[in-house]
Structure 1
Amino acid sequence: MVIWGVCNRKLSGLVCLAVAGAVLLGLAVPAQAEIYRWVDDDGTVHYSSTPQPETSQRERRIYDSEGRMREILPAPVSAEERAQAAAEREQAERALEATQRARQDRAERETQLRRAYASLDEIEELRERRERSIGGNIQRSEAQEKTLLRERERIRRQLDGANEDSRLADRYRAELEELDARIARERQYRRGQRDRLSAIHERLDLDRRDFQQLVLNGSR
């Protein structure tokens, strides 16, 4: 070899062997060899040409032959961390779905309002019409109850003047029961009408608010 020839001519045998060994060693180590730095569970720092043991739970740092850090490999994820990450992903997905549903509901609500009303004044006009209609129903029911109460009072006087054990008294009592039932129905009807009017006011208040926010303010 050339190395041995050079050594024989210029160097002594011992020096020649040392130089040849160093050259051969340099040839055996690749120029881009990776050096691994890792810390074990006891905190001890290790350097080696092989990765850290798989059982280690710490991060790994990879250096090149010139001592420059090339890459950081994170520590393996534990089962608890994987479960937490999965839970966080699921929560984020649910939040995204909720946001998308809210946007869709908002768009559908805006479309509904635009089809139903042309302005806020139209909402108030509808409110007034409903109030007049339901108010008229309540007034007619109140008038009907007054008529029934007068009829009830008349039959009550007849019952008081009749023989209690007579067939006529039995008829008066039956008529009174029928009148009481009709009066109760009128009162129940008016309660239902008032509940209906309250629900209409609540819905129209909501329509007015949403129309203001989604249609008027949203179009600016």
Structure 2
Amino acid sequence: MRKVDPVKHEQKRRDILDAAFRCFIKDGFHGASTTDICAAAKISPGHLYHYFSSKEAIVEAMVDMGLESAAREFGKISAAPDFIEALIDYLEHGSLRHRTAQVLSLDALAEAARNPQFAGIVEKHASVSRNLLVDFIGTAQRQGQIDPDLDPAATANILLAVIDGARAMPIRTPTLDIEQSLAHLRTLLSRFLKPPREMSAHIRRVTRRTNAPLNASRKK
């Protein structure tokens, strides 16, 4: 039996995943076939099954890679001195300015609605992402950065909805003012997440900044 070189095997897996990624972006999860993926990866269908048993197995491998990336991103957010600013940065670069994430996120939800096997993959992704967020929220609550009265699991569900919604915004509104949207998201998250005392101080700071030009003009 011919020995498999693990390095070459892993590289070929990644080549196939890259090819699948391009196909899914072009034709969607439902529209892209294993034949399309094989053509993009320049391999035969028989060769594909040495690496992945089905199209769903390819998607699941892509989800696992995405979860590893999400864990790194949430780790950065939880370690940041200002968690809301770190979360806003994630929403900007991971959602509002990330076209491929927008396309794949919405298409994955659509495919999950009609494909039970795909729905299981999406549910797994959501469950792991939710658990990562729950841990992050609990840490931030202990640090006094998030309202301790918020339920971590329910809060994680809301934040996932915000992330999904942010990805949909540029598709719904191609002329979206991203800077304005980020400012409103910052206000939304501050009002939702900050402890009441912190929120009151935040409102006072914003009010002072807003009224400063008006007060200056009156003095003149």
Report TM bin, short chain. Answer: under 0.3
Q: Which has the higher strand share?
A: 1
TM normalised by structure 2 equals 0.21
Q: Which has the higher helix share?
A: 2
Q: Which has the higher contact order (CA 8 A, sep 6+)?
A: 2
Which has more radius of gyration?
Answer: 1
TM normalised by structure 1 equals 0.21
